[in-house]
């Protein structure tokens, strides 16, 4: 078989070839393709050179297919259909899809947003599954490796931000949470009282220090931090049984405070900052994938937000 270098072949000619083999006439093929007759004649000559075969040969009734053209006519249609499918946007049907959606994020963030997604999926995508990973980890590294489809985080990526897209899920203030028995539980807390108290914080990556410790260092201050956790779910237990204070987004405090002997207090005035955003993140490689778009819009719709 003659070896062909595809780099030397104009694949656009295959579309012209399909019309020529169907119409068996340059004029009709030109009309079908909305091309001029001379342009189709030139394309036919290039095709003859490429295939080393006349393709169309004169007959009693005008033109007929050569043996080579007869052999390739069926294959050509299949090839062009395959190319069209490759180029066309992939289809996604939630009702029939059996895909697995992999989402990662801290336990409370996922508890805030993923249940609503599952409620939507149970009606619109009943055969799809969700794998939820709330282990402490660098979720952006997981996105980069392709281990997950989405990450929910209030902490922005530290490197390679251009790899990721994001959409706002929620904006919330930051507050303090402590046990009802805590000496500061029933008063406005001053900066000195805050610094003298015993503190704990959550590290979703398993690393420190906390954002507040970095901010205090910039102010030339330091607080007494004695505990680092990797999960939000045990915070009420530590608040009820110790004198530790945690600083958390208020939407998370509301989630973990129900039925617990804890209280929430405002930060000292000097430490009050801009509201804290939560984002849904995904990698650039998945940005145009229809399944990703459907999941993203479902999450944002339930969160009362819109894609950005």
In tens, the pLDDT along 87-139 reads: 766 778 999 999 999 999 988 788 888 888 899 999 999 999 999 998 878 88
**Count of structural domains within the chain:** 3
pLDDT in tens, 129-170: 999 998 878 889 999 999 999 999 888 887 777 889 999 998
Percent of the chain with pLDDT over 90: 48
Look at residue 306 in the predicted model and tell me its pLDDT.
43
Q: C-alpha dihedral over 126, 136, 225, 220, to 10 degrees?
A: -100
Exposure of 33 by Cβ count < 10 A (0-12 exposed, 13-18 middle, 19+ buried)? middle
Question: Where a domain ends, among 59, 87, 115?
Answer: 87
Instruction: Give me the domain span that covers residue 205.
Output: 174-274
Cα dihedral across residues 71, 72, 75, 77: positive or negative: negative
pTM (whole model) above 0.75: no
pLDDT tier for residue 7 given thresholds of 50, 70 and 90: low
Q: Between 262 and 213, whose confidence is greater? A: 262
Residue 93 resides in a domain:
no
Q: Are residues 181 and 268 in the same domain?
A: yes
Q: Are residues 151 and 286 in the same domain?
A: yes
Q: Are residues 20 and 142 in the same domain?
A: no
pLDDT at 190 over 80: yes
* Residue 24, CB-side half-sphere exposure with 13 Å CA sphere: 13
Is the bond into 77 cis (omega within 30 degrees of 0)?
no
Tokens 């005008």 correspond to 62
- What is the CATH classification number for the domain harbouring 11? 1.10.10.10
Mean pLDDT to the nearest integer, 31-60: 90
Residue 92 resides in a domain:
no
Q: Are residues 209 and 126 in the same domain?
A: no
Look at residue 160 in the predicted model and tell me its pLDDT.
76
Question: 298 φ, ψ to 5°?
Answer: -65, -45
Q: Are residues 165 and 283 in the same domain?
A: yes
Q: Are residues 225 and 107 in the same domain?
A: no
Q: Each residue of 92-103: b (16+ CB within 10 Å) or e?
A: bebeebeeebbb
- The number of beta carbons lying within 10 Å of the beta carbon of residue 248 is 23
- What is the CATH classification number for the domain harbouring 211? 3.40.190.10
Residue 225 resides in a domain:
yes
Look at residue 275 in the predicted model and tell me its pLDDT.
87
Residue 1 resides in a domain:
no
| CA-based max dimension of the chain | 106
pLDDT at 267 over 90: yes
Mean pLDDT to the nearest integer, 289-304: 87
Residue 162 resides in a domain:
yes
pLDDT in tens, 218-247: 999 999 999 998 888 899 999 999 999 999
Q: Are residues 267 and 185 in the same domain?
A: yes
Residue pair 128/98 in contact by the 8 Å Cβ criterion: yes
Q: Are residues 72 and 107 in the same domain?
A: no
Contacts (Cβ under 8 Å, ≥6 apart) of 303: 113, 116, 169, 170
Residue 95 resides in a domain:
no
Residue 113 resides in a domain:
yes
Q: Are residues 156 and 190 in the same domain?
A: no
Residue pair 53/66 in contact by the 8 Å Cβ criterion: yes
Q: Are residues 163 and 294 in the same domain?
A: yes
Question: Where a domain ends, among 60, 87, 114?
Answer: 87
Q: Between 162 and 207, whose confidence is greater? A: 162
Q: Are residues 51 and 105 in the same domain?
A: no
Residue pair 20/45 in contact by the 8 Å Cβ criterion: no
Look at residue 207 in the predicted model and tell me its pLDDT.
62
* Measured CA angle at 100 (ends 95, 105), to 5 deg: 120
Chain-centroid distance of CA 141 in Å reads 13
Residue 11 resides in a domain:
yes
Mean pLDDT to the nearest integer, 262-278: 91
pLDDT tier for residue 4 given thresholds of 50, 70 and 90: low
Look at residue 288 in the predicted model and tell me its pLDDT.
87
Question: Where a domain ends, among 64, 87, 110?
Answer: 87
CA dist 178 and 308 (Å) reads 36
């Amino acid at each position: 078989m003659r070896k062909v270098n595809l780099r030397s072949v104009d694949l656009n000619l295959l579309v012209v070839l399909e019309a020529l083999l169907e119409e068996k006439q340059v004029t009709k093929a030109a009309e079908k393709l909305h091309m001029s007759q001379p342009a189709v004649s030139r394309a036919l000559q290039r095709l003859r050179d490429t295939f080393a075969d006349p393709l169309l040969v004169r007959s009693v009734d005008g033109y007929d297919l050569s043996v080579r053209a007869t052999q390739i006519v069926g294959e050509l249609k299949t090839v062009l259909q395959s190319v069209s499918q490759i180029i066309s946007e992939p289809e996604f049907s939630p009702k029939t899809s059996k895909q697995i959606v992999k989402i990662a994020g801290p336990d409370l963030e996922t508890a805030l947003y993923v249940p609503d997604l599952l409620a939507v999926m149970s009606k619109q995508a009943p055969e799809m599954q969700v794998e939820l990973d709330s282990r402490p980890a660098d979720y952006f590294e997981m996105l980069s490796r392709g281990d997950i489809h989405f990450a929910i985080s209030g902490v922005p990526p530290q490197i390679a931000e251009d790899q990721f897209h994001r959409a706002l899920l929620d904006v919330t203030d930051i507050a303090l949470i402590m046990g009802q028995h805590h000496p500061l539980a029933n008063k406005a807390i001053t900066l000195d009282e805050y610094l003298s108290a015993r503190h704990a914080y959550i590290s979703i990556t398993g690393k420190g220090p906390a954002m507040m410790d970095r901010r205090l260092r910039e102010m030339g201050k330091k607080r007494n931090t004695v505990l680092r956790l990797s999960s939000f779910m045990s915070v009420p237990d530590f608040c009820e049984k110790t004198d530790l204070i945690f600083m958390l987004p208020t939407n998370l405090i509301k989630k973990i405070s129900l039925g617990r002997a804890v209280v929430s207090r405002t930060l000292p005035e000097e430490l009050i900052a801009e509201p804290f955003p939560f984002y849904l993140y995904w990698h650039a490689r998945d940005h145009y994938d229809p399944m990703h778009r459907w999941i993203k819009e479902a999450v944002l719709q339930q969160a009362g937000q819109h894609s950005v």
